[in-house]
Amino acid sequence: NGFRCIAACSGYGSSSSQLYFPHTISFDSYGNIFVTDQQNNRVQKFLLLPNSCNGTTPVTTMATVTSMNNTQSVSLTTTVSYSNPISYNMPKFTAYTSWSSNGITFANTTVIGTYPYGVFVDNNNTVYVCEFSLNRVQAWPEGSSNPTRTISGSLNLPYTVFVTRNGDIYVDNGYANNRVDKWTLNATNSTVAMNVKYICAGLFVDINNNLYCSPVNYHQVNMKSLNSNSNMWIIAAGTGCAGATSNTLHDPRGIFVDTDLNLYVADFTNDRVQKFLSKQANGITIAGTGATGTISLNGPNGIVLDADGYVFIADYYNNRIVGSGPNGFRCLLGCSSIAGSTSNQLNLPTSLSFDSYGNMFVADSSNHRIQKFILINTTSDLIINQPSFCPSTTWYTNAITVANVTTVGVQPYGLFISMSNTLYVANIQNNSVQIWLEGSVNPDKTISGGLYQPRSVFVAPLGDMYIDNGASNGRVDQWFVNANSSVLFMTVSNFCGSIFIDIENALYCSVSNNHQVVKKWLNDNMTASAIVAGTGTAGSAANMLNLPYGVFVNVDINLYVADCSNNRVQLFPLGQSNGITIVGSGAPSTISLNCPNGITLDANGYLFIVDQNNQRVVGSGPYGFRCIFGCPGVTGSASNQFYYPRSLSFDSYGNLFIVDQYNSRIQKFIVASNSCSLSYNQPTFCYNALWYSNASNFASSSTIGSLPYGIFINGINTVYVPNRVSNTILSWPQGSNTSTSNSYSNLSNPYSLFMSMTDDIYIDNGYSYGRVDKYIFNTSNRVTIMNVNGSCYGLFIDTSNNLYCSLKNLHQVVKLSLNNGTTIPTIAAGNGSAGSLSNMLNSPQGIYVDSNLNLYIADSANNRIQFVQTGQLNGVAVVGNGSSTNIILNYPTGIVLDANSYLFIVDSYNHRIIGSSSTGFRCIVGCSGGGSTAFQLSFPQSMAFDSYGNIYITDRNNSRQYRPPPPLLRVAAAAVPQLALLLPLPVPQVAALLLLPPPVLQAVAVLQVPLPPAPVALLLPLVLQQVPAVPQVVLPRAVAAPQVAVLQVVLLRAAAVPQVALLLRPPVSVPARAAVVLQVALLLPLVRQQVAAVPQVALLQRSPLAVPLRALAAPQVAVRRVVAVLQVVLLRAAAVPQVALLLPLVRHQVAPLPRPPLAVPLRAVAALQAVPARAAVPQVAPLPRPPLAVPLRAVAVLQAVPARAAVVPQVVLLRVAAVPQVALLLPLVRHQVPAVPQVAPLPRPSLAVPL
């Protein structure tokens, strides 16, 4: 409607209706406006006028202004007149508004005579009544029990009255005088407002000051402008001839004109309501005959609209009031349609009107009275708790017993929880109903007297109780609030297994033994009921029932019935006698039931069912049905078991109360989590949130096995870890230090798992079986969900129910919709080839999908986090290599987002967890480097938050799981030696090495030599390449084998090893031109042997890049097709590991070594011992194999030199037949050894000369 002037619209000044340079305004909570009237030195208060929002045109009526200034505190008033809104109270109602079914007689025949046809309540709540037989109109001001004004004069059988907002009264005077009279406020005489043909059954004044009259028996509606001096009218609707077409009417009665000047007409004899759009001659049928799906009418008379344009009708011959709303039409009052004179009956009602509070006044003509029906319910839908749950809502599975046999007796049956959380329980043994107020431990009240084995109870909005008393007494009793006795409400043929009251104030009873459901209106004084479902004979046809128990009626008046002996739930749509099976037997793809009993719906219309003979409670949701409680399906008395449960009810918090009948107790299951986000915990953190740096042990390798990868924590903080050794899923409930092992068949080497919002577990089973399996909540039932071609190192389910799997070895992420029934996934990211392009991945592991379905990938071997928008295949690096961040990642393996979408990353080879916030990235945990102390990590794999924000981490190489004090928890891994790995060199060829002294031609063993502590160097995988030349070692094709002094660790592959060595299995062999291939022998402790002293070697710094050169010439050495040996220094060792002298890789001399039990990939090979082909084998005493390999702390970092630099790096990359492996050589060598000269590293050469 645009802008309009609100206050002080007459210009500036100092009167109460004026302002003088106003400065600021503010509203109070009631909508009144306060204005600082600056130049008048005061604050003005403009009161909000009631009903000023009616209509669509700019309207204002009265304004009361209170002035507050620096010299006075005086109340001033003024009246400002504007164009009138509708002169009618039009309250705003909800879809479920109801009125008391028992009316209060406002005026009876002794006051108003006989046949009062018209009633009108003005905006001041003054009630006007047309007293037809007394030829007058009387008025009752608000709050008065007696009329204070009488309008009579020349009136003759007045039928109806209308009062405008300014107090003008228009009265029908057409019976004998053929006119409408106007009485102004406080006038004693009338004027003629309009000439008419006959009685005006309806009168109305619209917002444009037009007066309408519907003359009886003239089949039209007339209209006259009150701004005209003429008393003549024009036809607004109808032709004057009776008819049922769109442009005709037949004896129209009540009329109403809305703010858009649309005319509503109660077309009495045509049993319909017609709507004529402004200035249109053809009407639209909106209710009654000709309006399918509305409501049947029989002589509609009075008609009014509410604030939302919904229609309320006095249905004359049906003796009732009906109304419309968002859910369609429904009966409101007099719903038995039987004429009567009791407080809940009507007899030919003719008109109705609302006061400003929403109370309804009805002219009950043939009862010669005006009835007032009090508004009782405007805020809720059904009068039963219907919490709104998310798909992921969970409850604690161990219940609290709120009442036992000493309180509720043996085998209690029914219960009810009111919206104020008062608990009512039907006690069969004691013939009573017991009541607990919210928070009470013991019953606060007991209802008894005249009851016999009550099965069910339901409580109406005002607190009246309706209690089953049918087993012996054949009735339902009504107990009024605070009453000491009951009254008969309804007769029944047997007990009511369940009672329910719908939004139309109709009560339903499931007469179980009679195989039917009956219904009766609360405002019907008759005690008989009507059958709404079932024939009375047991059967399984659509119109039959067999022992129906629980009933529920939704806001659309659809009836749900738990059909026990048919093992199904039936839905009877409004007005239908044939039911539809929606759950159980006859409803495929739902859930099997065995005698369903109690039934209820949540706010979203999802079902919760007591599956009695299956000893459980089941529920539905957007992903179908699931078991919620008692899921093993066996009887028992434990806190998570039932023994024939009977009925259920929610409180307002979503907690579920269940009658556990044969355990003679009431069980309460507390809601644990009702988050509508992911099933994954996403806490909210401040930008500077901190975690304890020292973690505490959560689980050891004896529990979780070696090398655990995955971890998941659900909304109730149960921790799940797959054990790859025992092929089980371990779980720890919140607060428990003891795990539960869930053994599943055909599970092999699971890397990851994920729990859905319905608590089903999705587990990687791709290693041997090529699939992802789903284990249904609380069962051991397995379903294959997705077929894959390898292990899923990460699993995730997004908010659209898509399942994602990261296939590390296939360098891609695939996804599958869990709603489409197929097991074949599609590609979500990666093209299946290792690479670093935007559409490629290299060994992806951890994955995460946000609420916008964007995919985050820990692209491990590319040292980056890739962000792939929904629907895209090309990713963007958001962290690490290729991104704009300044954080460097080293093989990230896990990723999680918090509630604000900040990233938390498992930076595996940097042995730390990093996180982002509004201030950027920072290290969170493990910030001092890798290690085994409480504040260190060693190759962590994955992480998860609990709901409190604590972090759990799989600390893979530390043989442990950790849980620190809050707020940090971290989980460690199984026992695996700590390994130092070499970083990959991205360049295919390496220029040269820093020159070392010539090798000593002497066999060497290793002496224990203490070394100073040094920082741990993290070295990643070494790419082996062909090189044209290597300095420092001359290897002719057939010469004597020089013997080389080893620097701290010798990493060799031997054809025959005198000492017993555990050699790890290498990856697939690659053809090479090198004459000699090096491998590393894993040597074990407690060796006693002659050794030579080992020279001390300084650690060399690694340069940032290895550069390929076509050829090089290194000083002092001529090179031809050689094998390169790398320097490695063990750090922080108490003693130098022992070295085995191993033969070179010459195929006809190689003796096979035993295969180790597990191949541990190492990223480094480094040794300085090279032996030419056909060299003699040194004689060495064999060593016994020890029970355990001792982890090494570090390996020295090798330098790489940029391209065309004078200094050549120390790394030589070879294309070899097999990838070298690391030999772990251990201390405690105690023998005399020949001294070995100390060797100092030589300076780098000034220039690399190509050959």
Supply the pLDDT for residue 379. 52
Structure tokens at 966: 């809050």
Q: CA–CA separation, 508 vs 562, rounded Å?
A: 13
Backbone torsions φ then ψ of 365, nearest 5 degrees: -60, -50
**CATH class of the structural domain 394-673:** mainly beta
703: how many CB neighbours lie within 10 A of its CB? Answer: 18
Range from 145-159, 215-229, 375-389, 501-515 carrying the lowest mean pLDDT: 375-389
> Are the C-beta atoms of 500 and 468 separated by less than 8 Å?
no
Q: Does residue 842 carry a pLDDT above 90?
A: yes
Q: Does residue 904 carry a pLDDT above 70?
A: yes
352 CB contacts (<8 Å, ≥6 apart)?
Answer: 119, 302, 304, 312, 314, 321, 360, 361, 362, 363
User: Secondary structure of the chain: what % helix, strand, coil (to 5)?
Assistant: 5, 30, 65
User: Residue 432: in which H helix or E strand, if any?
Assistant: strand 432-436
Q: Does residue 347 carry a pLDDT above 50?
A: yes
Burial class (CB in 10 A: 0-12, 13-18, 19+), 580: middle
Rg (CA), the chain: 44
**Strands 506-511 and 496-501, how do they pair?**
antiparallel
Q: Examine domains 98-377 and 394-673 and report if their fold is the same.
A: yes
> Are the C-beta atoms of 587 and 558 separated by less than 8 Å?
no
Please give the single-letter amino acid code of residue 483: A
Q: What is the pLDDT of residues 959-1012, one digit of tens each?
A: 555 554 444 333 333 333 333 333 333 333 323 323 333 333 333 333 333 434
For the chain, the structural domain boundaries read 1-83, 98-377, 394-673, 713-932, 979-999+1023-1041+1050-1227+1237-1251
Handedness of CA 337, 341, 345, 348 (dihedral sign): positive
**Structure-model confidence comparison of residues 806 and 1035, the more confident one:** 806
Q: Does residue 1126 carry a pLDDT above 50?
A: no
Supply the pLDDT for residue 381. 61
Q: Which of 1068, 1004, 1057, 1044 is nearest to 1126 (CA)?
A: 1044
Cα torsion at 168, 169, 175, 176 (round to 10°)? -60
Supply the pLDDT for residue 368. 96
* Cα angle value 930/936/937 (rounded, 5°): 65
Tell me the HSE value of 997 on the side-chain side, using a 13 A CA sphere. 15
Please give the single-letter amino acid code of residue 1184: P
Q: CA–CA separation, 327 vs 314, rounded Å?
A: 19
Q: CA–CA separation, 1140 vs 1120, rounded Å?
A: 26
Q: What is the pLDDT of residues 915-965, one digit of tens each?
A: 999 999 999 999 999 998 999 999 999 999 998 999 999 998 875 555 544
Q: Does residue 701 carry a pLDDT above 60?
A: yes
> Are the C-beta atoms of 1080 and 1053 separated by less than 8 Å?
yes
Name the 3-class secondary structure at 731. strand
Please give the single-letter amino acid code of residue 573: P
Q: CA–CA separation, 173 vs 179, rounded Å?
A: 5
Structure tokens at 1034: 């001359």
Q: CA–CA separation, 864 vs 882, rounded Å?
A: 7
Q: CA–CA separation, 259 vs 51, rounded Å?
A: 13
Q: CA–CA separation, 793 vs 906, rounded Å?
A: 14
Distances (CA, A) of 1057 to 125, 323, 795, 1001, 1079: 108, 97, 44, 20, 12
Please tell me the pTM assigned to this model: 0.48
Please give the single-letter amino acid code of residue 258: D
Please give the single-letter amino acid code of residue 138: Q
Q: Which of 601, 623, 511 is nearest to 552 (CA)?
A: 601
> Are the C-beta atoms of 1089 and 1180 separated by less than 8 Å?
yes
Name the 3-class secondary structure at 134. helix
499 CB contacts (<8 Å, ≥6 apart)?
Answer: 414, 456, 457, 458, 466, 467, 468, 476, 507, 508, 509, 551
Structure tokens at 455: 């099965």
Range from 466-475, 669-678, 711-720, 1041-1050 carrying the lowest mean pLDDT: 1041-1050
Q: CA–CA separation, 1030 vs 1213, rounded Å?
A: 10
703 CB contacts (<8 Å, ≥6 apart)?
Answer: 723, 730, 739, 961
**Strands 719-723 and 712-713, how do they pair?**
antiparallel
Q: What is the pLDDT of residues 11-35, one digit of tens each?
A: 888 888 889 999 999 998 778 899 9
Q: What is the mean pLDDT of residues 68-80?
A: 38
User: Residue 497: in which H helix or E strand, if any?
Assistant: strand 496-501
Structure tokens at 1013: 């502590």
**Strands 311-315 and 616-621, how do they pair?**
unpaired
User: Which CATH code of 3.30.750.80, 2.60.60.20, 2.120.10.30, 2.40.110.10 fits the domain covering 98-377?
Assistant: 2.120.10.30
Q: What is the mean pLDDT of residues 745-762?
A: 89
Cα torsion at 694, 700, 701, 705 (round to 10°)? -110
> Are the C-beta atoms of 562 and 647 separated by less than 8 Å?
no
Q: Helix count (H) and strand count (E) of the chain? A: 3, 83
Supply the pLDDT for residue 665. 97
Q: CA–CA separation, 638 vs 397, rounded Å?
A: 11
> Are the C-beta atoms of 332 and 98 separated by less than 8 Å?
yes
Q: What is the mean pLDDT of residues 289-316?
A: 95
Q: What is the mean pLDDT of residues 315-326?
A: 94
User: Residue 280: in which H helix or E strand, if any?
Assistant: none
Q: What is the mean pLDDT of residues 1123-1130?
A: 38
Q: Which of 702, 709, 710 is nearest to 726 (CA)?
A: 702
Q: Does residue 644 carry a pLDDT above 60?
A: yes
Percentage of residues in the chain having pLDDT higher than 90? 55
Beta bridge partners of 349: 364
Q: Does residue 1164 carry a pLDDT above 60?
A: no
E-state strands within 537-586: 548-553, 559-563, 568-572, 580-584
Supply the pLDDT for residue 878. 96
406 CB contacts (<8 Å, ≥6 apart)?
Answer: none
Q: Mean pLDDT for the chain?
A: 78
Structure tokens at 993: 């090495």
Backbone torsions φ then ψ of 613, nearest 5 degrees: -75, -10
Beta bridge partners of 629: 617
Backbone torsions φ then ψ of 885, nearest 5 degrees: -80, 160
Supply the pLDDT for residue 1067. 45
Q: For domain 713-932, is the CATH number 2.120.10.30?
A: yes
What is the pLDDT confidence band of residue 1102, given thresholds at 50, 70 and 90? very low
Q: Does residue 1156 carry a pLDDT above 70?
A: no
Helices (H), 337-444: 405-408
Q: CA–CA separation, 866 vs 984, rounded Å?
A: 20
Distances (CA, A) of 1008 to 1039, 1185, 1231: 32, 20, 10
Beta bridge partners of 797: 803
Structure tokens at 826: 């599609």
Q: Which of 99, 1, 8 is nearest to 53 (CA)?
A: 1
Q: Which of 902, 901, 948, 908 is nearest to 925 (CA)?
A: 908
1088: how many CB neighbours lie within 10 A of its CB? Answer: 12
**Structure-model confidence comparison of residues 801 and 517, the more confident one:** 517
484 CB contacts (<8 Å, ≥6 apart)?
Answer: 449
Beta bridge partners of 627: 618
Percentage of residues in the chain having pLDDT higher than 70? 73
Q: Which residue bears the tokens 């609030």?
A: 481
Residue count of the chain: 1251
| Beta-sheet strand order (sheet of 559-563) | 548-553, 559-563, 568-572, 580-584
Q: Which of 1049, 1043, 1030 is nearest to 1002 (CA)?
A: 1043
**Strands 892-897 and 903-907, how do they pair?**
antiparallel
